[in-house]
Amino acid sequence: MIEAQALSKRYGAKTAVDAVSFTVQPGKVTGFLGPNGAGKSTTMRMIVGLDNPSGGGVTVNGRAYAQHTAPLREVGALLDAKAVHTKRSAYNHLRAMAATHGIPNSRVKDVIELTGLGPVAKKRVGGFSLGMGQRLGIAAALLGDPHTVILDEPVNGLDPEGVQWVRHLAKGLASEGRTVFLSSHLMSEMALTADHLIVIGRGRIIADAPIQSIIDGQGKVRVRVRADRPQDLLGGLAGEGVTSQVLEPELVEITGVEPRRIAEIALRERVLVYELTPLQVSLEDAYMQLTQNEVEYHSHTPTAADPAAAPSEGR
């Protein structure tokens, strides 16, 4: 279990993580979703004590990470696939990590097998592909057979087979009662893996709920309507609890009511309707709606001032 209390991180004037509080429960996969630069990696680094919070705190299994006597046996973390000396072999890297906790070499060989690194284990990490580096990071995270597993963008650079493997791994670990916390900026990936979602944007928690309720809550029916007098149509819909957005003089998007009902109202109001298109609401849309206010920073053409939008991802 991971518990964050008013956790904050500021870099100078920029607030990367803004007083977030959340709990990651054992026994399920919790997705940590947000656009690039939203504060996911910074939050995860604070969980394992690499970054010191500017305010608030975070505990894992009831204690700050550094207070555990056997941290690798409590928490396994993949934060950065490149956290490896490039001239050392994967096997020696894992052996050095394992030695700090007296983890036997047999376990090192186990995680190498588990992550499919066998054929390249004795090769220098510098020559690894992104996907292989990712597998090595996951192997390191699993070394201590930890009760809590934190994976930052674990499917980055993996081939489809690898992506599927990570999904099964995450679900398998959760079904054993472990706490699994994984981040992504892809809603589609989360939809397939996570049971619970914590959505973060610009350092703040936007949503923290079971994945189904996030989809249901945001995914109302949306219909695109072209009509000659849209205002009259919207006036007729006033009692139906809809939200609408006028995109062009004769084009509106209406959310919250079935297309058939719109047609009925249009007929009653004698409005000419010449397009009535139900828009598919995907998970991606639900996510975009959730975060649209939080990503405006990224949506315009990059300018000199823009790199400030993503201060923490590339570290």
Partner 1 sequence: MATSTTPAPALQRPRPDRNPGPGVNFGRVLKSEWIKVTTVPSTVILIACTVVLMVGISALLAWQTTFLFEAQSDPEMAAQMQAQGAPDPNDIVRDIPGSGLTFGQLLMASLAVVLIASEWATGMIRSTMVAVPRRTPALLAKQLIMAVISFVIGAGSALIAYFIAQPILAGSDLDFGLGDDGVLLHIVNTGSVLALVSIFAMSIGTLIRNTAGGVVTSIGILLVLPIVVAIFGSGTEWVVDAARFLPSSGGEQMVATTIADGAFNQWQGALVLGGWSLLLLVVSLIVTKKRDV
Residue 229 lies near partner 1 (rule: CB under 8 A): no
Q: How far is Cα 279 from Cα 257, in angstroms, rounded to an integer?
A: 12
Q: How far is Cα 118 from Cα 109, in angstroms, rounded to an integer?
A: 8
Contacts (CB under 8 A) with partner 1, residues 22-41: 23, 25-28
Query: Smaller CB distance to partner 1: residue 50 or 288?
Result: 50
100: tokens are 């700090």
Type of residue numbered 286: A
The helix or strand, by DSSP H or E, that contains position 60, with its residue range, turns out to be strand 55-60
Per-residue contact track with partner 1, 146 to 165, x per CB under 8 A? -x------------------
DSSP-assigned beta bridge partners for residue 75: 148
268 CA to centre of own chain: 46
Per-residue contact track with partner 1, 111 to 150, x per CB under 8 A? -----------------------------x---x--x---
Query: Smaller CB distance to partner 1: residue 23 or 255?
Result: 23
Q: How far is Cα 289 from Cα 293, in angstroms, rounded to an integer?
A: 8
Residue 237 lies near partner 1 (rule: CB under 8 A): no
Contact 310, 11 (CB under 8 A): no
Q: Which of 15, 89, 255, 282 binds partner 1 (CB under 8 A)?
A: 89
Q: Which of 3, 80, 250, 313 binds partner 1 (CB under 8 A)?
A: 80
Per-residue contact track with partner 1, 171 to 190, x per CB under 8 A? ----xxxx------------
Q: Which of 18, 74, 153, 294 binds partner 1 (CB under 8 A)?
A: 74
Which ranges constitute the DSSP H helices of 150-249?
160-175, 187-193, 211-218, 230-236
Residue 101 lies near partner 1 (rule: CB under 8 A): yes
Q: How far is Cα 290 from Cα 34, in angstroms, rounded to an integer?
A: 10
Q: Which of 7, 22, 93, 185 binds partner 1 (CB under 8 A)?
A: 93
Q: How far is Cα 82 from Cα 80, in angstroms, rounded to an integer?
A: 5
Contact positions vs partner 1 (CB under 8 A): 23, 25-28, 45, 48-52, 61-62, 65-66, 68-74, 77, 79-80, 82-89, 92-93, 95-97, 99-103, 140, 144, 147, 175-178, 195-196, 210
